[in-house]
Chain A
């Protein structure tokens, strides 16, 4: 049994975000982190490893520096890491990305007892699309928004969150699950884990390693193969600042209430 965890390196949008004058993101000036939901997926996999001794393989698509993030995942306890990286893959939308990642997962190999795990969505694009699109390309059943996962033999039972409650869903392995933060609290790297990480296998899949997979086709990967294109990107204008009221006492509040009443807002 093994668990393949798909993770992504993202700019930390919770901190200071720098935008270039042309409206694109100044990635160079930003901190990168492992996408938060992906950390929950990795933790879920590592918990299963703790319980069953199964193997955990992390996979990411990205530029070569993403290898640093993979080393961190190895230091947390993953056994092997795969960096999917090639010029041909650049500019992929979620559809094209899912084709490439599915091809990488095919090359790693999905066996009857295996699970593929992803975070629900990445904080840079917030699309939540790559997980389900990978599942379709891999012909695996998918369960998204997982807040609890149990595995008994080949049966996987997941608490799948809705806005107004949850569903309990059962399926058999192999399957793909996307994870949310309610699932667990990701562990930290241990000191011994950091030392061991450098002895663990980290391989790169380039274009030549994946090109024989039927999913990899010049017309369905990269910028040119992506069904969606960016038509425009722009920054929203700042709404003009309003009135700063003087003071912060009873008179200030009475003045504000008076304005709201006069404008029939209250």
Chain B
């Protein structure tokens, strides 16, 4: 096992995406990663393949992945794979990878993906980059990305335009720095990819119909599995869907003098906009909002049409999760709050006074249309 990667890296082909399912249903992240994987496979001139593990019958869901760009889906079915289990999944995935040798392997950075990917990378003796927000093969594309997303002097640097390594970019130090990671000596090059960041392709039924399903051989016995999942419990409360929302009204420490009142005002504005309520890390750490509301480096990355920041100072941790919103509106008492540096529209004032006025003004403006 340890010298698995002593093989010639040129023997590794194709881009693979791990397609996570829960309760037999594909995850939204799968379609995002298949869509991005399609671009990478095109740049490399190779196939894009999904890898789908699940219980008996999971094959029926596989063709849908073709509709977003997969040429082929490898399906591994077993009753032992119906519910995610680190040992069982790592065993099957590593065996199939050693047999079929993909060049790049993308995994959604969900709580499950981030459990699975490092276990597999350690077994396969290859590199893994965590929670990526941008991926490139072509150097020209990467340079263009740097022009838009960095302060680097890209023209003052030497570039090897033939470089075919997967360039995996991710935030570090709470978003203060960005790093692009490569894995030049080992394959597959592995990355977990942050949910909600990659854009999903439009679904194409003809491509779904043309998608090839293959069932690679694998062995999996009870001896391979040292952990037992005794129950899977869904949260009773419906979780807020920040990633899918077009309008987000987030609150921060500024609501501290009246937490319930502040959240209520945010909910009213969100309801008027047809959106949802989010929060900064402070509001989650203080227990004012549940963790599913958190926007930021350690929460969710969002890019809604409108992001309203109420009483959020704009720590870089928070900005990392929302600065790509199409329109940012900030309300803060402190006119030097960093949030104003990235806001499209800023109002310096008390959120408890401004928010209801804004809700009313938006209601009136919509009615007047």
Residues of A within 8 A of B (CB): 11, 13-14, 17, 19, 23-25, 93-95, 98, 123-133, 135-137, 141-145, 157, 161-172, 175, 220, 226-239, 241-245, 247-250, 252-254, 256-261, 265-266
Contact = CB atoms under 8 A, between A and B. Distances in A.
Nearest to B115: A144
Determine the main DSSP class of A at the interface with B: mixed
Nearest to A129: B118
A172 B83 CA distance: 19
A242 B346 contact: yes
Contacts of A126: 130-131, 171-172, 174, 297-298
Contacts of A164: 22, 234-235, 239
A244 B329 CA distance: 10
Nearest to B351: A248
B123 to A, nearest CB: 6
Contacts of B306: 260, 265-266
B172 A167 contact: no
Contacts of B357: 249-250, 252-253
Contacts of B129: 228
Contacts, number: 277
A129 B176 contact: no
Contacts of B232: 162, 165-167
Given A161-B111, A238-B342, A254-B364, A17 B184 contact: no
Interface in B333-358: 335, 340-350, 353-354, 357-358
B152 A229 contact: no
B177 A233 contact: yes
Interface residues of B, number: 97
B119 A132 contact: yes
B125 A128 contact: no
B110 A163 contact: yes
Contacts of B81: none
A135 B350 CA distance: 50
A141 B87 contact: yes
Contacts of B140: none
B231 interface: yes
Contacts of B317: 13-14
Nearest to A99: B122
Given A132-B118, A228-B127, A256 B230 contact: no
B146 A13 contact: no
9 tightest Cβ-Cβ pairs between the two chains A and B: A248-B349, A227-B127, A13-B174, A228-B127, A136-B122, A242-B344, A127-B130, A257-B361, A132-B118
Contact of A257 (B185, B328, B349, B362): B362
A235 B233 contact: no
A109 B216 CA distance: 39
B179 interface: yes
A157 B231 CA distance: 11
Nearest to A229: B182
A228 B180 contact: no
A167 B178 contact: no
B323 interface: yes
Nearest to B123: A136
B130 A129 contact: yes
Contacts of A125: 130, 172
A169 B185 contact: no
B47 interface: no
B186 A243 contact: no
Contacts of A11: 173
26 contacts: A13-B174, A95-B127, A128-B114, A129-B130, A136-B122, A142-B227, A144-B86, A145-B115, A162-B232, A165-B235, A167-B84, A169-B230, A227-B125, A228-B127, A228-B129, A228-B183, A234-B150, A236-B149, A236-B151, A239-B341, A244-B346, A248-B347, A250-B357, A256-B329, A256-B361, A259-B345
